[in-house]
Amino acid sequence: MVVSVERFQKAKLDDKAVLTFRDKSITLDVYQGTQNEVGIDITELREKTGLITIDPGYANTGSAVSDITFVDGEKGILKFRGYSIEGLAEHSTFVEVAYLILFGKLPTKDEYHEFSHLLEEHTALHTSLEHHFNGFPDGAPPMAILSAMLNATACHHPELLDTELDANNFMTASAKILSKVRTIAAMSYRRSQGFPIIHPNHQLKYCANFLHMMFSQPYREFQVDPVLERALNIFFIVHADHEQNCSASTVRMVGSSRANLFSSVAAGVCALWGPLHGGANREVINMLQSIHKEGKSAAEIIALAKDKKSTFRLMGFGHRVYKNFDPRARILKKHVDKLFEILHKSDPLLDIAIELEEQALNDDYFIERKLYPNVDFYSGILLRAIGIPLNMFTVLFAIGRMPGWMAHWKELLDHNQRINRPRQLYMGYTHRDFIPMDERD
């Protein structure tokens, strides 16, 4: 899957943009993507005019040309390689979606079996890697473990650290990572609980094998409920990619220095950890739990979220791109309802979440700022229903996002993208004379 320069040229419009500053003007090329979004090419701006653009947070910056994922935040559309997220969540499995994102097409039966076989083959960790877990203190954050272990895994595959991986080696490397993150995640949970490590069962499919490694005991095999297995598939599918978000951009930033695939995705894990990104799924549950415990009303919470003197935000609400609704939140909410119906379960946190959503969607503050529930608002409730402990939530997000990160890394290299190196507007001192230490105030 290569978006060639030639294809990029095809996107060039006859229309031009003209930027005038003082007595100088520059004519800039304009490109149009396949979904009609239009971008002005400023790659020669500084060279020709000495000017740079200022865009903290990159909200208006197209940092890449990509054909992996399309998001229309105004209309609430999300597509992977042209397939809508609703259709994939309805009909597909995570492994199939991972294949689609990584290799650009839905797999044939043979391709699916070949990829699934690779995933089974690479599930286990090298025994020396298992010893690393002994070095982490009790209570070590599982996101730190995951990132560290991805780099440790790289040490065992020097042949895959090249950035010029051919198609076979990329398939092997991506299958190894996708398979092993699940083993690493389950091991970190087992260690945190003081439980013995459960080795993979090659008879089980991707999600079922993960649940087995998480919850089986040496004396009792965990019986994987197909309903929960499906729920986990859906959770992973909706998280599989989301174009140039904070963690994918981090992977691209690191990969642009020609760092290897393992280290680049390890950096993605670190970016995802933050509460404004992947860490939000935990924060939503923490928020709902404290509302439940303290008996606060939805109205009080909404008032606090609106109070500019407070730093509190309604977690799981708002999105940099979605200014209508997040289609992933809808899919997850629908599936949570279905899951609880089938399992005859209820969760007081779900009732609180529904009430908060209702109030927020009718409140001028949220309406004016176009703040809607995002993917994290209902994902935690789904994970709780599956039995995933709270401190593993963001790790589960990372497993789901792995295909996207790896596809971005590959695409960046296929496009031979230059090293990422933004500019800045310097606002510091212009000159200071050095003062010896004993003369300083």
Task: List contacts with ligand COA (CB under 6 A).
Answer: 276, 280, 305, 313-320, 369, 371, 374-376
Least distance CB 245 / ligand COA (angstroms): 8
Least distance CB 79 / ligand COA (angstroms): 18
* Nearer Cβ to ligand COA (12/369): 369
* Nearer Cβ to ligand COA (104/275): 275
* Nearer Cβ to ligand COA (318/403): 318
* Nearer Cβ to ligand COA (267/285): 285
| CA dist., res. 294 & res. 57, Å (int) | 36
| CA dist., res. 29 & res. 359, Å (int) | 46
371: left (phi over 0), alpha (psi -120 to 50) or beta: beta
Cβ contact 281:383 at 8 Å: yes
Least distance CB 325 / ligand COA (angstroms): 13
Q: Which residues contact 322 (CB under 8 A, 6 or more apart)?
A: 71, 73, 76, 372, 374
Least distance CB 288 / ligand COA (angstroms): 13
Least distance CB 362 / ligand COA (angstroms): 15
Cβ contact 186:210 at 8 Å: yes
Least distance CB 424 / ligand COA (angstroms): 19
* Nearer Cβ to ligand COA (57/139): 57
CA torsion sign for 99, 104, 108, 110 is negative
Residue of closest CB approach to ligand COA = 318
Cβ contact 370:361 at 8 Å: no
* Nearer Cβ to ligand COA (56/226): 56
Least distance CB 312 / ligand COA (angstroms): 8
* Nearer Cβ to ligand COA (285/371): 371
For residue 18 the two structure tokens come to 């003209």
* Nearer Cβ to ligand COA (107/400): 400
**Environment class of residue 225 by beta-carbon count within 10 Å: exposed (0-12), middle (13-18) or buried (19+)?**
middle
Among all residues, which ones are annotated catalytic?
Answer: 319, 376
Least distance CB 286 / ligand COA (angstroms): 12
